[in-house]
Structure 1
Amino acid sequence: MTTAARPTFDPARGRESQAPTVQLSARDLASHTKLKFRQPGQDDNVALQAQDLKRQLLEAEREHFRKKQSERSALGNETATKSDSIVDSQHQPPVLDEERRRQLLAQVQAWDNDDDDDSDDDNSEDENAAHKAKSQPSSASAAEEESDDDDDDDSDDEDDTAQLLRELEKIKRERAEEEARKVRQRTQLEESQQTEQLLGGNPLLNLGGERQFTVKRRWDDDVVFKNQARDVDDKPQKRFINDMLRSDFHRKFMNKYIR
């Protein structure tokens, strides 16, 4: 049984929002609905007048400039220390420990052995044997020279270290120059090959080669079905005929239900 015609038990009462006639924006609403009180530290006018604001500003300014000056002096001292250390390192000869020196000697000797020819192996072995024989004196002479020539040994070690470092720098520089030369040659070769390819690929500039005016066939030229969807409209355009008997709908209806 329907209840559409039955009266409501509690009829609708009118409210303020029943049929509003006024529209308010959110920006027009009251934003400050509570009274603000003075917080601790917010002095009144009497306390503010008692303060010496000019003196506070001058003290803050002096503190700022003092901090800037201290930072600038610290930066200057650090720069001066770095420059002094660089100058000292340039003037002082490089000092290496015995293990590092032995490794550098072994590395230089390995590089020298790689650069030597195979025909000079016997001569190099004889020279190494003679050098070892000379570098190993007798025990008595070694004891005497050790007590007398400590300063000379230190200076000789420093000279050998400096010479070794110079030799290493020379070898590194030569290898870098060789690598740069190879890179330059490789770049020139690639550029020349690219230029030849560009000149040969253009038929207008390829005067020395054979002239071929044939057009290359596409990879799908020999397919069976080709251009099947050309000039085919799946959605025929609708037309309007101001005649009920000759309209498309009437003809379709007659063909479907009469014939």
Structure 2
Amino acid sequence: MTTAHRPTFDPARGKDAQRGPAYHQRLLPAHTQLKVRKPGQGGDADNAPRDLRAELLRAEAVHFAKIKGEPIPEAEGEDEEDPEAKRRRVLEESRDVDADSENDEEDSSEDDSDDDEDETAELQRELEKIKRERAEKREQEEREKAAAEEEEREHDIALGNPLLNPKSDFHVKRRWDDDVIFKNQARGTEDKGKKKEFVNDLLRSDFHKRFMRLVESSRFLQPKQS
């Protein structure tokens, strides 16, 4: 007798987990840190005065220092430094970096000009070489084409006239009924007049009759045994 209809008063209980008690995800502590406004989000940090020129010059100085391979370390106590003194210091650093970069640019421009001249001369030589190779290839193709045309012309002269070429074949290579309008009109006329019908008897079928005629003819062809 089934017990599916009976209620379960003592349901199955899961075993204790080996790693300790389990908690639901929503029971875990959340939102444990207080969010504050960052610069650019309309908080108190946006109301503080900023020296944008000094920041720009500082960024440029860091950029040129990275190009030269000498990274500028961050100045200690930068926040406590007077904005005017900071501005003057950044201007002096940027002026020195600009002077060094101008000298480097002059030297590099001279080197670049020499390199450009060498590259231009090399490209000119390569271009002349390519043009010369193309001209030689074009002349060779023209010579081959002229030789092929001359050979074909001589072949036509030698074999084109059938009177001068006794080996030529004068037979017309076509069928006698090529110019007939209607073709294959007699196909299937050999069975004309024969009545085809199905006979539901293996002994009276056409196949059995042909087979018996073949057997009878083979009897007469067999040699007599002495």
Q: Do they fold alike, i.e. is TM over 0.5?
A: no
More helix by share: 1
Larger radius of gyration, structure 1 or 2?
A: 2
TM score, norm. by length of structure 1: 0.25
Higher relative contact order (CA 8 A, sep 6+): 1
TM score, norm. by length of structure 2: 0.29
